[in-house]
C-alpha cells in the first residue's frame, strides 16, 4: 500500500509542478508593443516561426503560440490561393466574388484580407494568365516575338 501512496504523491507533485510552470505570466507592455509592431504586417511563415521561437525562448509562450498560429493560418491561405486564382481565370463566379470580397475587406483594413490579397498578387505575378485565343498580349516578350 505504501508504494501506491508514494506513487500517487509523486504523480500529484509532478502534475502540479508542470502546471505551475506553464502558468501565463503577464507580457510587459514594451514587449507586447514590439510584438504588435514587428509582426502585424508579416506574412512570411518562416519569419513568423522564427519570431515565435525567439519569443518562446525569451519566456513569452503566449506570444509564441499566437505567432505559430498565424504562420499556420498563412500557410493555409497560401495553399488555397492557387485554386481560387485558377478558378477565377476559368470564369468561376464564386471565386471571382471571393477575390472581390477579399479586396474590399483589405481596403477596409482587415489584416487577414490584406495578407490574402498580397498572396494572390504574389501568385499572379509568379504565374501570369495565359493569353486567350485571339487576344493580343502586350508584354515585352510578346512584342519581341512579334518583331
Q: What global pTM score does this model have?
A: 0.60
Q: Which of 44, 94, 92, 24 is nearest to 52 (CA)?
A: 44
**Measured CA angle at 68 (ends 83, 43), to 5 deg:** 50
pLDDT digits (tens, 9 = 90+) for 53-78: 888 888 888 888 888 998 998 899 88
Confidence label for 24 from pLDDT (cuts 50, 70 and 90): low
Runs of H (alpha helix) within 1-146: 2-21, 29-39, 45-57, 61-89, 93-108, 111-126, 140-146
Based on its alpha-carbon atoms, the radius of gyration of the chain, rounded to whole angstroms, reads: 25
pLDDT higher than 90, residue 123:
yes
**Least reliable range by pLDDT among 12-16, 31-35, 98-102, 136-140:** 12-16
Average pLDDT over residues 8-37: 60
pLDDT at 6 (0 to 100): 43
Q: How far is the C-alpha of 136 from the C-alpha of 36, rounded, in Å? A: 46
Residue 110, phi-psi category: left (phi > 0), alpha (psi -120 to 50), beta (remainder): beta
Amino acid at each position: 500500500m505504501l508504494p501506491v501512496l508514494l506513487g500517487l504523491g509523486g504523480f500529484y507533485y509532478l502534475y502540479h509542478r508542470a502546471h505551475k510552470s506553464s502558468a501565463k505570466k503577464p507580457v510587459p507592455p514594451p514587449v507586447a508593443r514590439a510584438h504588435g509592431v514587428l509582426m502585424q504586417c508579416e506574412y512570411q511563415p518562416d519569419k513568423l516561426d522564427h519570431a515565435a521561437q525567439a519569443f518562446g525562448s525569451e519566456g513569452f509562450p503566449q506570444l509564441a503560440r499566437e505567432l505559430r498560429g498565424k504562420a499556420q493560418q498563412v500557410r493555409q491561405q497560401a495553399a488555397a490561393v492557387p485554386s481560387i486564382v485558377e478558378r477565377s481565370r476559368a470564369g468561376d463566379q464564386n471565386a471571382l466574388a471571393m477575390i472581390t470580397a477579399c479586396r474590399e475587406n483589405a481596403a477596409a483594413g482587415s489584416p487577414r484580407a490584406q495578407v490574402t490579397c498580397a498572396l494572390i498578387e504574389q501568385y499572379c505575378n509568379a504565374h501570369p494568365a495565359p493569353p486567350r485565343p485571339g487576344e493580343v498580349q502586350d508584354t515585352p516578350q510578346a512584342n519581341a516575338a512579334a518583331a
